[in-house]
Structure 1
């Protein structure tokens, strides 16, 4: 409790020096920050001795620590928590973000490549997506690939087993029938229509329709996600086991951050990666028509460019702006 009081009562100079340590450490390299480096920062106007005294005070109250003698300081988990809570208006950033799926995918790839981090994104709930066109492609020896496209050209791709007669003629007939069934319908309504209009389907497809309908229903009703840049994590961190990043990870984050809007950060102790203490997660929920859909998560080393990543979300316009 005494330590918490001391943290809350940091004087402005110590706060400025602490903020400089955090910015220099979270630059993608994660090297201990020396007092001489702080003193040379533009706008500091303090000598190295003053910085050393301040860093000693910050270490005493648990915000910084020295990994080696005379090696400079690095932030503790408590230091990260204090920095993020005190220096960033996280809950005010990206409130009620309502992106299109294309924006989600583009942003995931962009952030991952720019900052060498991993992005895990839950895809929008698809059952209410309206279908504009259906294509049936010859995928391989066993399957056809169905593309359910919306007006923006985004598709939901589903493999189904071929019927006994899988000639191109039958495939074209089946694609024509699916376009009749799904035209201007939501995905869920299209599934109902597949069952109701089964007797109008190409005769060679009748035996497979129940199976296809079931497969489509399972696919469209299941959670889905994309993971981009997972390889960056394994290059930068010491982790003995592979990280389970995907739908189960998103479910974990959703449970942790239920009802929290804006940007949230999960620090090491709050994550399910038991054998890895070098990661944090920056997470933002997104919506459609103000209805919660899923989360956009950045999984990164604590030395990543945290400020710049948060700024990416700060640039997102609110729906009312």
Structure 2
């Protein structure tokens, strides 16, 4: 469709979308006459806007002279007219600083990456943490306060995962040591998926030489790694910073619920599993969320074997600042991939 518009029409349309992204309000011909370098009269611009409306790229929300881009129009803009911005050195350093491992677990690092992306983009961010599918090098239960312990797992790839589990009160240190030794012997040089079923069978058939307390510790530890992805959502409040969004709180509430639904986590990964770089889903193109006026900008991140192990992205209104946010998502995803090693 891009070749069907002449340069004047494309420039008018670009200015309409950019004005809409900035203000969220319908754009008039006078606004375009002031902001564009085309030296066209408002009457000439109205003629162009009429042609763009006939092409399905614009619509009139009410009887005013202002126009807004349709979903088809936003897709046209993103695919052919979008001018990507460049990250500042300060933004790059902020992402690198926030993502730095510094001995933190993978989940902590990804949570910080989500916080950074949410703050810089002024949107809600989503991170789908990777499954642990590498061979296990070390596993240990570390006592915390009463009734809680930290499960520390280190893979052959060097990933460190920490999970907190709830345990019976008054559990002796000996039960944690026994459980750690039991799992270490059965999981060393094997993935969690490979070892989990065998361990559970051994526990169920009472073949494991463990006392009752140590058995409960093992079961709790195995349950924390059930092989499911972890969905991290940050920056919900950013969805309410928009005056337009405040006019539809029920829509935002439903979007909140969908963002927090871990049942949708695998659908997130399916969306971008074969993607090369950043993907943009606009309105109803995005099957993950029922709300048709939200956009999803997402990129996969890969491990050292160049396998997609997770995704990171942002959710916002369809008038999201694509020019600024696409490079933010892209750089953050690449930074995570480098840190995963």
For the superposition of Structure 1 and Structure 2, which TM-score range results when normalised by the shorter chain?
Answer: 0.7 to 0.9
CA contact (8 A) 1:279 1:301 kept: yes
SS where residue 127 of structure 2 aligns?
A: strand
CA contact (8 A) 1:122 1:247 kept: no
1:208 paired residue number: 213
Q: CA–CA distance in 2 between the matches of 1:76 and 1:174?
A: 62
Describe the shift of the 1:310–1:125 C-alpha distance in structure 2 as closer, same or farther (beyond 3 A): same
Q: TM-score, normalised by structure 2?
A: 0.70
Describe the shift of the 1:295–1:149 C-alpha distance in structure 2 as closer, same or farther (beyond 3 A): same
CA deviations on 1:182-241 (whole Å, 9 max, x unpaired) are 99967739968x96xx9xxxxxx7323333333333322222121112233356432163
Residue 306 of structure 2 is aligned with which of 276, 290, 307? 290
C-alpha displacement at 1:159, in angstroms?
0.4
Describe the shift of the 1:184–1:258 C-alpha distance in structure 2 as closer, same or farther (beyond 3 A): closer
Describe the shift of the 1:182–1:138 C-alpha distance in structure 2 as closer, same or farther (beyond 3 A): farther
Q: CA–CA distance in 2 between the matches of 1:266 and 1:47?
A: 35
1:302 paired residue number: 318
1:109 paired residue number: 115
CA deviations on 1:154-197 (whole Å, 9 max, x unpaired) are 532130423x6425x547856985897699967739968x96xx
Describe the shift of the 1:129–1:13 C-alpha distance in structure 2 as closer, same or farther (beyond 3 A): farther
1:123 paired residue number: 129
Q: CA–CA distance in 1 between the matches of 2:288 and 2:193?
A: 38
Higher relative contact order (CA 8 A, sep 6+): 1
Residue 225 of structure 1 is aligned with which of 209, 227, 231? 231
Describe the shift of the 1:86–1:35 C-alpha distance in structure 2 as closer, same or farther (beyond 3 A): same
CA contact (8 A) 2:121 2:328 kept: no
Residue 60 of structure 1 is aligned with which of 54, 57, 64? 54
Say whether residues 1:20 and 2:15 are aligned partners. yes
Aligned length: 296
Instruction: Specify every segment of 5 or more residues in structure 1 that has no aligned partner in the other structure, as ranges.
Output: 91-98, 199-204
2:91 paired residue number: none
Say whether residues 1:11 and 2:6 are aligned partners. yes
1:93 paired residue number: none
Instruction: Specify every segment of 5 or more residues in structure 2 that has no aligned partner in the other structure, as ranges.
Output: 85-98, 204-209
2:79 paired residue number: 85
Describe the shift of the 1:185–1:44 C-alpha distance in structure 2 as closer, same or farther (beyond 3 A): farther
What value does the CA root-mean-square deviation take over the aligned residues?
A: 4.0
CA contact (8 A) 2:278 2:299 kept: yes
Q: TM-score, normalised by structure 1?
A: 0.73
Q: Which moved more, 1:276-285 or 1:248-257?
A: 248-257
2:149 paired residue number: 144
CA contact (8 A) 2:273 2:300 kept: no
